[in-house]
Amino acid sequence: MTTVRSLTTRLQRVPLTRPWASDVTSVGVVATHVVRSDGAEGWGFSWSPQIGAPAVQALLDHDIAPAAIGRAATPGILWPDMWEHLHEAGGGGLTTIALAGLDLALWDAEARAAGVSVSQLLGRHRERVRAYGSGVNLHYSLDDLLAQVQRWIDDGFEAVKIKVGKPDLAEDVERVGAVRALLGPDRALMIDANQRWDLATATSSIEALSAFELAWIEEPLRADDLAGHAELARRIEVPIALGENLHTVHRFDDFLNAGAAQIVQPNIVRVGGITPFLRIAERAAAHGAALHPHLLPELSGQLALALPATGHEILVEDVEDAGFGALGALVDPSPVTIAHGHLVENPHPGLGLRFAPLLSAESAPSTDAIREDPS
Question: Which residues are identified as catalytic?
Answer: 163, 294
Q: How far is Cα 259 from Cα 230, in angstroms, rounded to an integer? A: 6
Single-letter residue type at 283: R
Bridge-based pairing of strands 128-134 and 4-15 is unpaired
Q: Who's near 359: CB < 8 A, 6+ residues apart? A: none
Residues constituting the chain: 375
Q: How far is Cα 254 from Cα 276, in angstroms, rounded to an integer? A: 15
CB 201 within 8 A of CB 195: no
Torsion angle of C-alpha atoms 319, 321, 322, 324, degrees rounded to 10: 130
Q: How many CB atoms lie within 10 A of CB 120?
A: 16
Q: How far is Cα 184 from Cα 355, in angstroms, rounded to an integer? A: 40
DSSP β-bridge partners for residue 21: 24
CA 108 to chain centroid, in Å, comes to: 17
222 class by beta-carbon count within 10 Å (0-12 exposed, 13-18 middle, 19+ buried)? middle
Q: How far is Cα 241 from Cα 244, in angstroms, rounded to an integer? A: 9
Q: Who's near 168: CB < 8 A, 6+ residues apart? A: none
Q: Who's near 303: CB < 8 A, 6+ residues apart? A: 118, 119, 122, 268, 274, 277, 278, 293
